[in-house]
Amino acid sequence: MSPYFSRAGFSRGFFEGIGLLPGMIAFGIVFGVLADGVGLSITGASAMSFFVFAGTAQLLALHAWGAPDLLVAVVVSVIAMNARYVLFGAAIQPWMRGLPPWIAYASLFLLVDPNWAAAMRERDAGRHDIAVFVGMGVAFMIGWIVGTAAGAGFGPLLGDPRRLGLDFFLPAFFLSLACGFWKGRGDLLPFAIGAAVALVFERFVGGSWHVLAGGLAGSLTAAFLPRKAAT
């Protein structure tokens, strides 16, 4: 069956996305507050959320905002962090095969983890209404931008984000993300080496180079670490 768009599919995807909006808006508010803290206006922060539409990448960019010497570290870290979307795109391509390129690529601009999972669910069920994927993505973008604008707008009323502990949001977020990669005791050494290298770079180099150095050290350790054969 060829892929198609329908109004009913868009509505279904949009309203499924609405159910997840509270978390998206809350995440956007935190980003907006932190964006205000580095000097971004409501317009600037909202534009970033619209044109980039990648929460983790945007947070990482804020972490090194105003430090052009860290541009390489930030770019490499963002590419590594978002590399999973290459796999997401490859997985979703057969489901979208047959769409005109300008529609397919425009739709993929809205790709985030939840609507990719929804697309895979639709594919497995034998459905090819791409509007479900797009509708959910539109709902998420609206929530993300609304949260960003609210956070950036009310940020000055909250004062210093550190007073509320929001400066810890980014480290806490990435710590929770790292915990999701934990597969067992075999991952202990890469995690430990990556953390140790990151701490050394933070102490003696400064800036955000510890993000890149720790990630590379842990990744290389995992790549060359002998693994027990499955039995």
Which tens digit of pLDDT belongs to each residue from 64-115? 776 666 677 677 767 777 777 888 888 898 898 888 888 888 899 999 888 8
Q: Which domain holds residue 121?
A: 7-163
- How far apart CA 130 and CA 138 sit, in angstroms, is 13
Residues 94 and 191 in one domain: no
Name the average pLDDT for the chain. Answer: 80
Residues 137 and 192 in one domain: no
Instruction: State the total domains in the chain.
Output: 2
Kindly report, residue by residue over 148-202, the tens digit of the pLDDT: 999 898 877 766 555 555 555 555 555 655 665 566 676 778 888 888 988 898 7
How many residues are there in the chain?
231
* Unique residue bearing structure tokens 């956007």: 28
**Of 56, 217, 227, whose CA–CA distance to 144 is shortest?**
56
173 belongs to a structural domain: no
155 and 217 together in one domain: no
Question: Does residue 171 belong to any structural domain of this protein?
Answer: no
What's the pLDDT score for residue 115? 87
Task: Please indicate, yes or no, if residue 114 is contained in any of the structural domains.
Answer: yes
Residues 40 and 148 in one domain: yes
Task: Give the residue among 70, 8, 108 at the shortest CA–CA distance from 209.
Answer: 70
**Strand locations in the chain, DSSP E?**
none
Q: Where are the alpha helices (DSSP H) in 159-187?
A: 169-180
pLDDT of residue 62: 80
Handedness of CA 119, 123, 126, 129 (dihedral sign): positive
